[in-house]
């Protein structure tokens, strides 16, 4: 499947600060999904974006899909300790889908 690149690999923030992770592809994505994995846990589906320019919100989390459908972002406003974990994007096209390598969110109280 086509590759999706995710940055940054690690992000340290103070509790209350915002956090953003980005997912990029060199080719057009049919859709993009975001998953969260808590430390010691398994990935859990958060959301799927399908339409160009789509923006979805889940409480403090905002998900965006780029106009060209080649990139996506996950933004967390005012992080809390419960946000700790690794956030993965999952996307692709006709050739198949792959996971990004994930962004580890570390929160300092």
Minimum Å gap between C-beta 102 and another protein is 5
Q: Which stretch binds another protein (CB under 8 A): 18-26, 37-45, 53-61, 76-84?
A: 37-45
Q: Is 93 in the site for another protein (CB under 8 A)?
A: no
CA distances from 42 to 52, 85, 87, 104 (A): 29, 10, 11, 14
Parallel, antiparallel or unpaired: strands 96-99 and 85-93: antiparallel
Q: Does 79 bind another protein (CB under 8 A)?
A: no
- CA pair distance 37, 45, nearest whole angstrom: 9
Q: Is 90 in the site for another protein (CB under 8 A)?
A: yes
Nearer to another protein (CB atom), residue 19 or residue 35: 35
Among 8, 18, 27, 45, binds another protein (CB under 8 A): 45
Burial of 4: CB neighbours in 10 Å, binned 0-12, 13-18, 19+ = buried
Please report, as ranges, the residues that interact with another protein according to CB under 8 A: 6, 9, 31, 33, 35, 41-45, 48, 88, 90, 97-102
């Amino acid at each position: 499947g086509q590759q999706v690149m995710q940055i940054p690999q690690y992000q340290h923030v103070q509790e209350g600060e915002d956090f953003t992770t980005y997912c990029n592809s060199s080719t057009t994505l049919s859709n993009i999904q975001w998953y969260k994995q808590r430390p010691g846990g398994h990935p859990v589906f958060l959301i799927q974006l399908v339409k160009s320019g789509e923006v979805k919100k889940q409480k403090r989390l905002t998900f965006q899909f780029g106009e060209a459908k080649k990139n996506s972002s996950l933004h967390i406003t005012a992080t809390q300790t419960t946000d700790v974990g690794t956030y993965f994007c999952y996307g692709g096209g006709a050739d198949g889908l792959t996971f990004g390598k994930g962004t580890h969110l570390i929160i300092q109280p």
